[in-house]
Amino acid sequence: MSRSLGALLRPRSIALIGATERSIWSNAAHRNLTSFGYSGKVYLVNRNAGSVYGQPVYVSASAIGEPVDLALLMVPVAGVLEALDDLQAAGIANAVMLTSGFAELGEEGAKLQAALHERAAAHGIALLGPNCLGFINYIDKAPVWTLAPRPQGHFGSLAIISQSGATAALISYFAQQQGLALSYLVSTGNEVDVDIAQVLDFMVDEPNTKAIALFIETVRDANAFARAAERALAAGKPVVVLKVGASEITAKAAQAHTGALVGDDRVFEAACRRLGLIRVASIEDLVVTCDLLQQLGEVGEGGLGLVSLSGGICEIAADRASHVGLPLAELSSNTVQRLRDALPGFGTPHNPLDVTGGAMLKPEIFEKSIHGLGQEPNIAAVVTVFDVPTDESNDGEFARNALAHIGNALREIPVPGLVISHSVRPVTERSREIIHQAGIAYLGCGVDFGMAALSRLFAWSARRRKGIATKETVTQANVRPDSERSTLAYLASHAVPVVPAQLVHSAVEAVDAARRIGESVALKVASRNIAHKTDIGGVKLNVLGDQAVAQAFLSISESVRQARPDAEVEGLVVSPMRGKGVELFVGTLRDAQWGPVLVVGLGGIWVEALQDTSLRLLPVKAEDVLEQLSELRASKLLDGFRGAPAVDRQALAEIIAKIGNAALALGPELVSLEINPLWSDGERIEALDALAIWDSKPEGEAL
The site string for a second copy over 237-266 (x = CB under 8 A, - otherwise) reads -----x-xxxx-------------------
Applying CB under 8 A, does 384 fall inside the site for a second copy?
no
State the minimum distance, in angstroms, from the CB of residue 288 to a second copy.
10
- Determine the interface stretch with a second copy among 169-177, 561-569, 661-669, 674-682 (rule: CB under 8 A): 169-177
Applying CB under 8 A, does 269 fall inside the site for a second copy?
no
Distance CA 537, CA 523 (A): 11
In sequence order, what are the residues at sequence separation of 6 or more whose Cβ sits closer than 8 angstroms to the Cβ of residue 207?
Answer: none
Distance CA 73, CA 70 (A): 10
Distance CA 28, CA 150 (A): 12
State the minimum distance, in angstroms, from the CB of residue 490 to a second copy.
30
Phi and psi angles of residue 167, each rounded to the nearest 5 degrees, phi first: -65, -40
The site string for a second copy over 328-357 (x = CB under 8 A, - otherwise) reads ------------------x----------x
Distance CA 466, CA 656 (A): 18
Query: Which residue, 69 or 448, is less far from a second copy as judged by CB?
Result: 448
Question: Measured in whole angstroms, how far is the alpha carbon of residue 464 from the centre of its chain?
Answer: 13
User: Phi/psi zone of residue 70: left (φ > 0), alpha (ψ -120 to 50 degrees), beta?
Assistant: beta
Among 108, 205, 301, 319, binds a second copy (CB under 8 A): 319
Applying CB under 8 A, does 633 fall inside the site for a second copy?
yes
In sequence order, what are the residues at sequence separation of 6 or more whose Cβ sits closer than 8 angstroms to the Cβ of residue 636?
Answer: none
Is 194 in contact with 126 (CB distance < 8 Å)?
yes
Distance CA 229, CA 279 (A): 13
The site string for a second copy over 442-481 (x = CB under 8 A, - otherwise) reads ----xxx---------------------------------
In sequence order, what are the residues at sequence separation of 6 or more whose Cβ sits closer than 8 angstroms to the Cβ of residue 574?
Answer: 501, 502, 504, 510, 513, 514, 517, 521, 522, 523, 549
- Determine the interface stretch with a second copy among 100-108, 231-239, 368-376, 518-526 (rule: CB under 8 A): 100-108
Phi and psi angles of residue 321, each rounded to the nearest 5 degrees, phi first: -60, -45
Of 300, 241, 326, 302, the residue nearest 276 (C-alpha): 241
Is 542 in contact with 499 (CB distance < 8 Å)?
no
Distance CA 162, CA 173 (A): 14
Query: Which residue, 310 or 408, is less far from a second copy as judged by CB?
Result: 310
Distance CA 223, CA 13 (A): 33
Helices 397-412 and 429-438, axial angle in degrees (round to 10): 50
Applying CB under 8 A, does 605 fall inside the site for a second copy?
yes
**DSSP letter assigned to residue 150:** P
Applying CB under 8 A, does 284 fall inside the site for a second copy?
yes
Give the binding-site size for a second copy (rule: CB under 8 A).
69
Query: Which residue, 200 or 574, is less far from a second copy as judged by CB?
Result: 200
Query: Which residue, 253 or 609, is less far from a second copy as judged by CB?
Result: 609
Applying CB under 8 A, does 283 fall inside the site for a second copy?
yes
Greatest alpha-carbon pair distance for the chain in Å reads 103
Radius of gyration from C-alpha coordinates of the chain: 31
Among 223, 255, 310, 520, binds a second copy (CB under 8 A): 310
Applying CB under 8 A, does 173 fall inside the site for a second copy?
yes
Length of the chain: 703
Query: Which residue, 426 or 537, is less far from a second copy as judged by CB?
Result: 426
State the minimum distance, in angstroms, from the CB of residue 468 to a second copy.
27
Applying CB under 8 A, does 170 fall inside the site for a second copy?
yes
Applying CB under 8 A, does 371 fall inside the site for a second copy?
no
Distance CA 38, CA 12 (A): 9
State the minimum distance, in angstroms, from the CB of residue 284 to a second copy.
5
Among 8, 316, 402, 688, binds a second copy (CB under 8 A): 316
Applying CB under 8 A, does 642 fall inside the site for a second copy?
yes
Applying CB under 8 A, does 164 fall inside the site for a second copy?
yes
Query: Which residue, 455 or 661, is less far from a second copy as judged by CB?
Result: 455
Applying CB under 8 A, does 423 fall inside the site for a second copy?
yes
Of 457, 441, 444, 236, the residue nearest 325 (C-alpha): 457
Secondary structure of residue 157 in the 3-state scheme: coil
State the minimum distance, in angstroms, from the CB of residue 345 to a second copy.
9
- Determine the interface stretch with a second copy among 303-311, 431-439, 505-513, 516-524 (rule: CB under 8 A): 303-311
Query: Which residue, 109 or 276, is less far from a second copy as judged by CB?
Result: 109
Distance CA 288, CA 213 (A): 10
Applying CB under 8 A, does 6 fall inside the site for a second copy?
no
Is 238 in contact with 232 (CB distance < 8 Å)?
yes
Among 89, 121, 234, 361, binds a second copy (CB under 8 A): 361
Applying CB under 8 A, does 541 fall inside the site for a second copy?
no
Binding site for a second copy (CB under 8 A): 24, 100-101, 104-105, 148, 150-151, 162-164, 166-167, 170, 173-174, 177, 215, 217, 242, 244-247, 281-285, 287, 309-313, 315-316, 318-323, 346, 357, 360-361, 387, 393-394, 396, 422-426, 446-448, 605, 608-610, 633-634, 636-637, 641-642
